[in-house]
């Protein structure tokens, strides 16, 4: 049976009798979490990763910790136990779409936009930390919260937007891997065949994930190491000067005509589906959720490992930008993209660099493809309370991703870079549908409790970042429409109507759901009486006590 009810791997531990103030809040959450197995006893794809890594309390601190982290809490050994989810999350910062924006920025603007790449990643880090905190503090991921707090119509709309973003990203990953296979095979594997091979190799994940979450994380670590080594060697062979890179990182500047490229970098770095993914990945660590101090410890360690992972991603992206800046900046090359980058590198630096580039590109495509499968499972199970088996999920997603890619590869192989540009615009459109929900949820006392809710400074900074990112992406979309769509009045009218509907929906997500942002235990009471009550101050205080017992 490939379709059954049930969420992702974060099945919540039930409270023993006498623990906490009440088991009612836990029961409400359990209402969102049913059995792991379907009627045949087969474990679903994400549930099979429920062989979670337990992080036990240290004997010397198990009775000493109160509600806060004590001094001297840090331990390298415990950091290692929490290391993993952040590196899986960082894969989205290294996918073929990001590599394309890196190489185009380097070839067209030199090193001058390296600072944009760095600070975009910093902004992405802050937003990812909200998603991580939501998952740890509530034991539910973002898609599950959306199911619990949004009415049916906006919930289904959000689910569709998330699925579109995942499929769009998957197309980019298929394109990148297919191009890499063509280069490595010296043309023996044409693009259309590479698309088919890439679509099938995702099924290898079914075998790998059976060996447990730690081995799966190790595989992603190896792929990141391959990218770092490949692009680092490219920098060395290309003769990139470290001083030029440092200047690009330290001195903010946007050359004339490079504003759109800077906007494209921001749009490529922060991916909407990655917000959903990170809020779920943190559940791979089994901690004592009855103690706020243990949640705070997990949040602290996840912050550290995510910072390390994204620092690595910055170095990899900057390395790609630097190689193409060194080889092609100022030479009037305007048509460079993923599809022909290997040929340009081979002509400029020799065939070795060409093949090293292909190895790094293949690692980027394969790693991001695997995390996309994870994200799709979390999103579907969270929004719809449905589980699709690993085989069915890959088959469905890859079938949708293959169709447009295969058509372009067969009929107009030279247009794959154009398809990539359209897909970057698609990701820009989808971005607010992940940013706004996670900001609203983490700013709600009814969901996060007073202990974990965003502080005013944090909330203000993150809302400002979200507004800036959305504005930047809207400008990218506007420029793209201006350059690529005919200026017929009826087309402009349709675009205007779509934009108005889009903005109204974003306003609803921001302001229209505040009264329903209570803990799931409160929603359960309201639903049983056929209504949604406003969470009064007394209700919020009581739900805080219930949440603390989870």
Q: pLDDT averaged over consecutive 10-residue blocks of the chain (550 residues)?
A: 38 35 38 39 40 61 58 86 93 92 92 94 94 94 93 93 88 88 91 83 71 84 94 93 94 85 82 92 88 90 96 96 94 85 92 94 89 85 79 73 74 68 79 92 91 90 86 76 79 86 90 58 43 35 37
- Nearest-10 Cα torsion for 199, 203, 208, 209: 110
Q: How far apart are CA 245 and CA 326, in angstroms?
A: 10
Q: Where are the alpha helices (DSSP H) in 485-528?
A: 489-511, 520-528
Quote the pLDDT of residue 57. Answer: 62
CA dist 32 and 382 (Å) reads 9
- Cα separation values, 405 from 46, 190, 364, 381, 411, Å: 27, 13, 18, 27, 10
Cα(22)–Cα(548) distance, integer angstroms: 10
Could you tell me which residues come within 8 angstroms of residue 102 by beta carbon, excluding any fewer than 6 positions away? 117, 265, 317, 318, 320, 321, 324
Cα Rg, the chain, nearest whole Å: 23
b/e code 504-531 from CB counts within 10 Å (16+ = b) = ebeeebbeebeebbbbbbbbbbbeeeee
Query: Which pLDDT score is estimated for 196?
Result: 85
Report in angstroms the alpha-carbon separations of 545 from 26, 94, 519: 12, 41, 11
The predicted pLDDT at position 302 comes to 96
Return the beta strands (E) in 336-425 as ranges: 386-388
Crossing angle of the two packed helices 152-184 and 351-384, in degrees rounded to 10: 160
DSSP assignment letter at 110: T
- Integer Cα distance of 195 and 199 in angstroms: 6
What's the pLDDT score for residue 532? Answer: 38
3-state class (DSSP) for residue 287: coil
Distance CA 163, CA 169 (A): 10
Whole-number Å distance between alpha carbons of 181 and 185:
6
At 534 the pLDDT is 35
Q: What is the pLDDT of residue 236?
A: 92
Report all structural domains of the chain as residue ranges with CATH numbers, in order of start.
38-57+75-517 (1.20.1740.10)
Token pair recorded at residue 404: 């447009």
């Amino acid at each position: 049976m490939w379709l059954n009810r049930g969420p992702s791997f974060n099945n919540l531990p039930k409270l023993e009798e006498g623990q906490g103030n009440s088991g009612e809040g836990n029961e409400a959450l359990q209402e969102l979490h049913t059995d792991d197995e379907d009627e045949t006893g087969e474990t679903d794809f994400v549930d099979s990763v429920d062989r979670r890594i337990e992080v036990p309390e240290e004997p010397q601190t198990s009775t000493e910790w109160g509600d806060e982290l004590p001094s001297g809490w840090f331990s390298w050994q415990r950091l290692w136990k929490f290391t993993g989810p952040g590196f899986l999350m960082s894969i989205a910062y290294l996918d073929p779409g990001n590599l394309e924006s890196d190489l185009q920025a380097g070839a067209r603007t030199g090193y001058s936009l390296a600072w944009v790449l760095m600070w975009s990643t910093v902004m992405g880090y802050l937003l990812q930390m909200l998603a991580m905190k939501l998952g740890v503090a509530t034991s539910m991921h973002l898609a599950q919260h959306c199911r619990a707090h949004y009415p049916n119509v906006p919930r289904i709309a959000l689910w569709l937007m998330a699925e579109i973003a995942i499929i769009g990203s998957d197309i980019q990953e298929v394109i990148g891997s297919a191009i890499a296979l063509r280069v490595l095979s010296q043309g023996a594997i044409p693009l259309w065949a590479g698309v088919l091979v890439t679509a099938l190799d995702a099924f290898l994940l079914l075998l790998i994930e059976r060996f447990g979450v730690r081995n799966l994380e190790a595989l992603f670590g190896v792929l990141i190491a391959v990218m770092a080594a490949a692009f680092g060697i490219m920098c060395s062979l290309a003769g990139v000067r470290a001083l030029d890179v440092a200047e690009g990182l330290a001195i903010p500047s946007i050359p004339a005509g490079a504003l759109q490229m800077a906007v494209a970098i921001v749009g490529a770095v922060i991916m909407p589906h990655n917000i959903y993914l990170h809020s779920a990945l943190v559940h791979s660590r089994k901690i004592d959720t009855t103690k706020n101090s243990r949640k705070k410890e997990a949040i602290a360690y996840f912050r550290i490992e995510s910072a390390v992972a994204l620092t690595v991603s910055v170095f990899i992206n900057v390395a790609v930008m630097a190689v193409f800046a060194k080889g092609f900046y100022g030479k009037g090359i305007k048509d460079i993209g993923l599809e022909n980058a290997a040929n340009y590198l081979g002509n400029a630096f020799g065939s070795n660099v060409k093949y090293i580039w292909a190895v790094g590109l293949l690692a980027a495509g394969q790693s991001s493809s695997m995390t996309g499968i994870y994200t799709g499972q979390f999103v579907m199970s969270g929004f719809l309370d449905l589980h699709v088996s690993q085989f069915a999920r890959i088959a469905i997603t890859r079938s949708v991703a293959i169709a447009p890619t295969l058509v372009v590869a067969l009929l107009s192989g030279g247009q794959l870079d154009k398809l990539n540009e359209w897909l970057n615009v698609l990701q820009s459109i989808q971005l607010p549908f992940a940013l706004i929900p996670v900001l609203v949820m983490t700013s709600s006392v009814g969901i996060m409790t007073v202990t974990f809710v965003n502080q005013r400074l944090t909330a203000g900074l993150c809302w400002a970042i979200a507004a800036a990112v959305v504005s930047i992406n809207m400008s990218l979309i506007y420029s793209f429409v201006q350059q690529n769509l005919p200026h017929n009045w009826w087309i402009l009218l349709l675009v205007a109507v779509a934009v108005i509907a889009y903005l109204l929906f974003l306003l609803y997500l921001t302001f229209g759901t505040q009264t329903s942002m209570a803990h799931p235990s409160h929603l359960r009471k309201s639903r049983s009486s056929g209504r949604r009550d406003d969470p009064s101050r007394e209700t919020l205080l009581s739900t805080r006590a219930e949440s603390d017992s989870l």
